[in-house]
Amino acid sequence: MSRAETSRRGSRPGRAGIRDVAAAAGVSITTVSDALNGKGRLPDATRRHVREVADRLGYRPSAAARTLRTGKSGLIGLTVTTYGDEPFTFTEFAYFAEMARAATSAALARGYALVILPATSRHDVWSNVALDGTVVIDPSDQDPVVSELVRQGLPVVSDGRPAGSLPVTAWVDNDHEAAVLGILDHLADAGARRIGLLTGTTTDTYTHLSTTAYLRWCERVGQDPVYEAYPAHDPCAGAVAADRLLARPDRPDAVYGLFDPNGTDLLAAARRYGLRVPDDLLLVCCSESTVYANTEPPITTLSLKPRRIGTAVVQLLIDAIEGVESDHPVEQVIPTELIVRTSSQRRSPRTTVSPPRSPGQA
């Protein structure tokens, strides 16, 4: 024992180990471990005493040793898709930030921390961190990262319905088709005759499902599709695409934009063409940003509820990690929320749909 003491002193003068605490408290290593972890059956006096000594010595258990022994690291990977060199795209900023924030909080509340891992990370980096499980955002079909993780026996929960036969443990997503159909109906109700779509060229599930839903809706109501697609990760391309859409001979009288910056892009394009919103052009875009509450005019947005998604994803993952029989279903659909503002209300609000009021009221 004294040998251990000595060798430890030599190795790391700054940090105290469990051995040092045991020696200082006059008990065994096991007793220290049990006292600090609330395990075993020890008299409260011993427990208190050990805790006191540990505090005095500034003892912090080595995370590495604990992880090695228990097989649990308390770390959850947050894998974000990458376009080009940078992790997560510009268009997803607000969504991603909100989602990550909620996920961080939820994980923290259950004693876990999040590790950011871009999908294009070098193998050696993310196989070099001990994860208990991983959250994957919008995994592509046959995502090599996911299959590798699953092969290692780690639970994987995805934000976004997994494409193809990706073997994720669970997933959470919005009902994107229903959301698009709801918006199109909303615009049609507001008087839109020809609804256009600003969409992306990428092949992710969100873009694909939304575009398909649009095309099917068009077919159902007998409208020719009017849409422009652009690479969503390029912040400049959006403005150009918005311009193209409004410059078409079959110019739409309402537009839904799938990505966050589309609102301002479309608004700017409309101004260039002298179109008044909402009189000449109805506008809706998918965004989590609150700037659209204060634009001129305020723009109707679709919120994907990233906070609920982030929370749900983490809960599912931790349930899987801890082997909790999921009281949650393994496939969760989070409802979207349409925040109706001026840009999508041609008729002055409530005038025609509400019951008549007394003339005195504004």
Among 69, 153, 348, 359, binds DNA (CB under 7 A): 69
Stretch that binds a copy of itself, among 115-123, 168-176, 317-325, 354-362 (CB under 8 A): 115-123
Q: Considering the complex, state which of residue 101 and residue 350 has its C-beta at the smaller distance from a copy of itself.
A: 101
34 binds DNA (CB under 7 A): yes
Can you tell me whether residue 302 is helix, strand or coil?
strand
Can you tell me whether residue 20 is helix, strand or coil?
helix
As measured in angstroms, the least distance from the Cβ of 9 to DNA is 10
As measured in angstroms, the least distance from the Cβ of 206 to a copy of itself is 19
Burial status of residue 172 (CB atoms within 10 A of its CB: 0-12, 13-18, 19 or more): buried
Q: Confirm if 135 and 317 have CB atoms less than 8 A apart.
A: yes
By a kind-dependent CB cut-off of 5 to 8 A, residue 31 interacts, out of DNA, a copy of itself, none, with: DNA
* Cα 211 to Cα 217: distance, rounded to the nearest angstrom: 10
Sequence-distant (6+) residues with CB within 8 A of 19 are: 4, 5, 8, 29
Residues 224-243 touching a copy of itself, rule: CB under 8 A, are 235, 239
By a kind-dependent CB cut-off of 5 to 8 A, residue 122 interacts, out of a copy of itself, DNA, none, with: a copy of itself
* Contact pattern from residue 245 through residue 284 relative to DNA, giving x for each residue in contact according to CB under 7 A and a dash for the rest: ----------------------------------------
Among 20, 32, 118, 254, binds a copy of itself (CB under 8 A): 118
CB-based contacts of 266-272 (< 8 A; 24+ apart in sequence) = 266/198, 266/242, 267/295, 267/299, 268/239, 268/242, 269/239, 269/242, 269/243, 269/245, 270/246, 272/243, 272/246
Closest CA to 153 of 310, 331, 320, 312: 320
28 binds DNA (CB under 7 A): yes
290 binds a copy of itself (CB under 8 A): yes
Q: What Rg, from alpha-carbon coordinates, does the chain have?
A: 27
Which residues sit opposite 79 in a β-bridge? Answer: 117, 136
* Residue 327 CB neighbours (<10 A): 7
Among 5, 52, 65, 235, binds DNA (CB under 7 A): 65
Stretch that binds DNA, among 11-19, 169-177, 197-205, 252-260 (CB under 7 A): 11-19
173 binds a copy of itself (CB under 8 A): no
* Cα 334 to Cα 120: distance, rounded to the nearest angstrom: 28
Stretch that binds a copy of itself, among 43-51, 96-104, 136-144, 198-206 (CB under 8 A): 96-104
Q: Considering the complex, state which of residue 72 and residue 216 has its C-beta at the smaller distance from a copy of itself.
A: 72
As measured in angstroms, the least distance from the Cβ of 11 to a copy of itself is 10
As measured in angstroms, the least distance from the Cβ of 57 to a copy of itself is 12
122 binds a copy of itself (CB under 8 A): yes
247 binds a copy of itself (CB under 8 A): no
Which residues sit opposite 82 in a β-bridge? Answer: 87
Q: Which residue has the tokens 């969504």?
A: 95
Closest CA to 140 of 122, 120, 125, 121: 120
By a kind-dependent CB cut-off of 5 to 8 A, residue 105 interacts, out of a copy of itself, DNA, none, with: a copy of itself
The torsion angles phi and psi of 87, rounded to 5 degrees, stand at: -70, 145
As measured in angstroms, the least distance from the Cβ of 155 to a copy of itself is 13
In this structure, is the dihedral angle defined by the CA atoms of residues 76, 80, 85 and 91, taken in order, positive or negative? negative
Q: Tell me which residues touch a copy of itself (CB under 8 A).
A: 14-15, 58, 60-68, 73-75, 85-88, 90, 93-94, 96-97, 100-102, 104-105, 108, 111-118, 121-122, 124-130, 151-153, 235, 239, 261, 264-265, 267-268, 271, 289-291, 294-296
Q: Tell me which residues touch DNA (CB under 7 A).
A: 4, 7-8, 11-12, 15, 17-19, 27-31, 33-34, 36-37, 39-43, 46, 59-62, 65-66, 68-70
